[in-house]
Structure 1
Amino acid sequence: MKAADLQLRSVQVRFLHPDGQEERLPLDVAAEVAFENCGAIRRIPHRADQAHTPSTHWSSTTNRMIECESHLESVWMTMLDFDPEVSGFSGQPMQLLGVDDRGAWKATPDLFVRRVDGSATVMEVKNPGRLNDAKVKATAARVAACCAAAGWGYELVGEPPGRQRTINVLALAGYRREMVGVSDYRAQLLSLAGEPVPLGQLVSFTAEPLVARAVVLHLCWTGELAVDLKPEYFETRSRTEEWTMGGQTVQMRFWNRPLHAMTEAFTAAGFRISVISEPPFVPEAREVFPEELREFEPTRTRFLCFLFFVLEAS
């Protein structure tokens, strides 16, 4: 069944206003309702033996708790919170009661999403293994037809695309709440990150790297600091940076490798690793690089982003 093949005869939309008052409207009138501000139209069941995991999600976009029926729904809510184009969303805010050429039906879509340009999208979140089920596809076709009539977009989704990006966004979500009393760190870190810089090096310029790391991750969540969330730790990749040294500009190429790739390369070449260390810079470095090291306390002489290996021939 395809949405284009359906002939909708009538569709009513049942929903709860933000104040809890229930209302039912024809679809063409309900299209003007701000469903992103509405609560769930039904009580999500909780049973000891159920397969999915209903919960509530705190949205950093709307600053309120939103009910979700499964872990996968909560993952999508986190991805929506991270999307700067999303201005609001809600969980199961409406029930569609329709009649078409195939009979009467009802459906409760999972998510209603409002974007900053005013457009809206209804999302159905399903276990990836059920996306091709006949019942799921039939319901999706009916809901999609309603969305087309109301001027909304429609998406039937499984897991978010880009597994590694999703993992990284979920990790950043732990820092989505702004910390208190870190305004000095915020200004300093934004200034230091004027040019691309590794995370470890960025926080090493501050008095308290652990605090700075949390602030950096929050700034990455808000988008004030740009970060590439696609690379995977276990990938080997290179990058090129332009450095000016001694009045000359040169291209510096760096390779990012996971720790196991380096240790395996050393042992495959016949070396034994005797020491892995983070040695301090020499005291004279403060005189040679006063600007770069000005934020370091006198007792701090180590970077967080360099590992040194001492190798011995086998």
Structure 2
Amino acid sequence: MAFTGLSGQVTQLPWEQAVGAVRFEELAPVSAFPVLPGRRWGPGWWWSATTGRHVVHGSATMRTQLMALDRDPEVTGLSARPVRLIWRDPADGRVRGWVPQLFARYADGSGLLADCPSSPAAGGDRAQRARVVLEAVCARVGWSYRCLEPPPAVVAANLRWLAGYRHPRYAGPPGVRAAISAAFAVARQLADGAASAGEPLQVLPAVYHALWAGQLVARLDEPLGEHTMVSAHQSNSGQTGTVMADARRRDEE
């Protein structure tokens, strides 16, 4: 595998050695995302609430996946295009390579290499061959490789809205946070709970931040609005803000 080290030089290491020695979540992209003339979407930056740093993305689809991983409480680190996997194809002896779009570090120390195709057929045969290789090499070290499926449109829209309040500045002062926790100690509609916690213009951003951070829970597979049922209890999390985490578990089964 090849990666760009802290000195800016491209370094190559055997896969198993690199997994134990390299902090993939701290690496700069090993190659840049292309800028395609006439394309409506170009590369951009996502500010990660998980790491407090920016992560580059190359498409709207990839940004949505970054957003979902950034909200996953099991994720502790994120990076884009951190490594190029290189191997010799046993079928024809040719050297091949692949640069996964995303890396996520989980709290248990394991890693995820992922691509964010806009459709199952994106990338053609080359992507399918690379997927087989990457799944195998990741499994050898207890990691995983996945082609992340776009979330349902309603979930994506809700995540985008909550992501606008992901920065800690929206958490509110301690008194507001305490009032919000008390207001939603029992499940109630979002607007009613926010109104009971204080001035809505001050409270609502803190409510949305708490929903992003998982301190409050609500169904994200239904449109988020004033009548959404919100609770501070985690016992209902299987039905609420864990859509993407549940998807991860299903993929790994």
Provide the TM-score with structure 1 as the length reference: 0.65
Offset at residue 149 of structure 1 (A) = 3.1
1:39–1:66 CA contact under 8 A, matched in 2 = no
SS of alignment partner, residue 205 of structure 1: helix
Does residue 155 of structure 2 align to residue 165 of structure 1? yes
Q: Matches of 2:24 and 2:154 in 1, distance apart?
A: 31
Q: Matches of 1:233 and 1:197 in 2, distance apart?
A: 13
Does residue 196 of structure 2 align to residue 208 of structure 1? no
Paired AA for residue 66 in structure 1: V
| Distance change >3 Å, CA 233–CA 175, structure 1 → 2 | closer
Q: Matches of 2:208 and 2:159 in 1, distance apart?
A: 10
Per-residue CA deviation, residues 214-251 of structure 1 (Å, 9 max, x unaligned), is: 110001111111222122479xx9x9xxxxxxxxxxxx
Tell me which protein shows more helix as a share of its residues.
Answer: 2
| Distance change >3 Å, CA 50–CA 207, structure 1 → 2 | closer
| Distance change >3 Å, CA 207–CA 52, structure 1 → 2 | closer
Q: Matches of 1:199 and 1:126 in 2, distance apart?
A: 34
Paired AA for residue 124 in structure 2: D
Does residue 233 of structure 2 align to residue 221 of structure 1? no
Q: Matches of 1:188 and 1:158 in 2, distance apart?
A: 38
2:71–2:213 CA contact under 8 A, matched in 1 = yes
1:31–1:151 CA contact under 8 A, matched in 2 = no
2:183–2:194 CA contact under 8 A, matched in 1 = no
Q: Which residue of 1 aligns with 2:15?
A: 27
Offset at residue 183 of structure 1 (A) = 2.6
Q: Matches of 2:173 and 2:25 in 1, distance apart?
A: 32
Matches within 5 A, 1:90-101: 90-101=79-90
Offset at residue 145 of structure 1 (A) = 2.6
Tell me which protein shows more strand as a share of its residues.
Answer: 1
Work out which of the residue numbers 190, 197, 206 in structure 1 matches 2:188. 197
Task: Give the structure with higher Rg (CA).
Answer: 1
Q: Which residue of 1 aligns with 2:145?
A: 154
Work out which of the residue numbers 179, 182, 187 in structure 2 matches 1:188. 179
| Distance change >3 Å, CA 58–CA 139, structure 1 → 2 | same
SS of alignment partner, residue 41 of structure 1: coil
Q: Which residue of 2 aligns with 1:244?
A: none
Paired AA for residue 41 in structure 1: V
SS of alignment partner, residue 168 of structure 2: coil
Equivalent pairs, count: 224
SS of alignment partner, residue 51 of structure 2: coil
Q: Matches of 1:130 and 1:208 in 2, distance apart?
A: 49
SS of alignment partner, residue 127 of structure 1: coil
SS of alignment partner, residue 222 of structure 2: coil
Deviates more, 1:150-159 or 1:87-96: 150-159
Paired AA for residue 91 in structure 1: A
SS of alignment partner, residue 46 of structure 1: coil
Work out which of the residue numbers 39, 43, 48 in structure 1 matches 2:37. 48
Identity of aligned residues (%): 27
5+ long unaligned stretches in structure 1: 1-12, 240-314
Does residue 61 of structure 2 align to residue 106 of structure 1? no
Matches within 5 A, 1:70-81: 70-81=59-70
Q: Which residue of 2 aligns with 1:133?
A: 124
Task: Calculate the aligned-residue CA RMSD, in Å.
Answer: 2.4
Provide the TM-score with structure 2 as the length reference: 0.80
